[in-house]
């Protein structure tokens, strides 16, 4: 797999150099460099004490992996404070309201999440879709995230019955298209937009998608993005897999060409386990 990837890179580089030498406009360019990304979704877990303990014990791997932790909102300032100013770890939120502020009891707007230290936000997580979020709301939340200067992590995924019925790609296409409806690539920065493929049957079940299944779905999403916008856009967007990801399957999953990282629930609560995953990701995406 690595060998093949290297050979492709060498050939592409060679073609570009020959074209440049001839004075032609290159029609192909180098593969996009997408920084590996590992996101923790703590869901409704942890408290101030365990958050401080996590910050003390978690060791970010050296190198290029970007690590984001999405605690419950109330713990954002605790985590920011415990990690300290010099930390490499970024903060994220698990959801946001589509309005920046207002009379929305119990909700959080993008600007206040950013003010509390968040730089990323999950949008359309299946646990929120299950609680009633529809495509139109998810689309508005994406826009609200961007307006607040937060990087949205759009979560998509099929249910078990949909996969058994052979409808996986149709579901993914529908969710992605609806979330981006009415948008042009100019309005969206590919470097500040992340997609997480999270099959519902794998979330919190201990049943992970195989690396081949995850790669197939993620590659399909990238192709669909290219159809909607352009290949130049799609190749720069980072795509994650999520659903019972852990230290034992992290390497296999992230060795796949289109999988740039993982969105991790249960296994992100323990700093040592999550640290092992960060190292695994660093290893599998390392340039030879």
Q: Looking at beta carbons only, is 215 or 249 nearer to ligand PGA?
A: 249
Q: Which residue has the closest beta carbon to ligand PGA? A: 265
CA separation for the pair 123, 137 (Å, rounded)? 10
Burial class (CB in 10 A: 0-12, 13-18, 19+), 50: middle
Q: Residues 217 to 246: which contact ligand PGA by CB under 6 A?
A: 242-245
Q: Looking at beta carbons only, is 45 or 183 nearer to ligand PGA?
A: 45
Q: Which tokens is 244 given?
A: 């019972």
Sketch the per residue contact string, 253 through 272, with ligand PGA: x for CB under 6 A, - otherwise: ----------xxxxx-----
Catalytic, out of 146, 158, 162, 198: 198
Does residue 281 bind ligand PGA (CB under 6 A)?
Answer: no
Residue of 26, 149, 204, 232 that binds ligand PGA (CB under 6 A) = 204
Q: Is 104 an annotated catalytic residue?
A: no
Angle between helices 76-83 and 48-57 (to 10 degrees): 30
Hey, what's the torsion of the CAs at 234, 176, 188, 209, to 10 degrees? -50
Q: Is 45 an annotated catalytic residue?
A: no
CA separation for the pair 213, 280 (Å, rounded)? 20
Residue of 40, 203, 218, 259 that binds ligand PGA (CB under 6 A) = 203
Question: What are the angstrom distances between the C-alpha of 198 and each of 76, 127, 132, 207, 242?
Answer: 24, 11, 17, 12, 5
DSSP-based three-state secondary structure for 38 = strand
Catalytic, out of 125, 146, 158, 162: 125
| Catalytically annotated residues | 125, 198
Interacting residue ranges for ligand PGA, rule: CB under 6 A: 41, 198, 203-204, 242-245, 263-267
């Amino acid at each position: 797999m690595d060998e093949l990837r290297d050979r492709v890179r060498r050939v592409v580089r060679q073609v570009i150099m020959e074209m440049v030498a001839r004075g032609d406009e290159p029609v192909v360019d180098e593969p996009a460099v997408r920084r590996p990304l590992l996101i923790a979704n703590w869901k409704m877990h942890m408290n101030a004490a365990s958050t401080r303990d996590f910050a003390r014990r978690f060791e970010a791997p050296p190198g290029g992996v970007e690590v984001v932790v999405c605690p419950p909102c109330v713990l954002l300032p605790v985590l920011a404070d415990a990690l300290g100013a010099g930390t490499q770890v970024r903060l994220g939120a698990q959801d946001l309201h589509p309005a920046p502020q207002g009379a929305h009891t119990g909700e959080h707007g993008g600007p206040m999440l950013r003010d509390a230290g968040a730089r990323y936000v999950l949008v359309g997580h299946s646990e929120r879709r299950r609680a009633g979020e529809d495509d139109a709301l998810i689309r508005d939340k994406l826009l609200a995230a961007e307006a607040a200067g937060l990087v949205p992590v759009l979560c998509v995924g099929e249910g078990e019955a949909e996969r058994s019925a052979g409808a996986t790609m149709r579901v993914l296409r529908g969710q992605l298209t609806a979330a981006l409806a009415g948008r042009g690539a100019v309005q969206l920065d590919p470097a500040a937009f992340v997609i997480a493929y999270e099959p519902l049957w794998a979330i919190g079940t201990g049943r992970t998608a195989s690396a081949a299944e995850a790669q197939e779905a993620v590659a399909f999403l990238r192709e669909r993005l290219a159809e909607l916008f352009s290949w130049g856009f799609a190749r720069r967007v980072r795509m994650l897999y999520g659903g019972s990801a852990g230290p034992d399957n992290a390497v296999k999953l992230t060795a796949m060409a289109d999988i740039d990282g993982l969105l991790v629930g249960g296994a992100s609560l323990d700093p040592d386990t999550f640290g092992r995953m960060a190292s695994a990701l660093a290893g599998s995406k390392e340039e030879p």
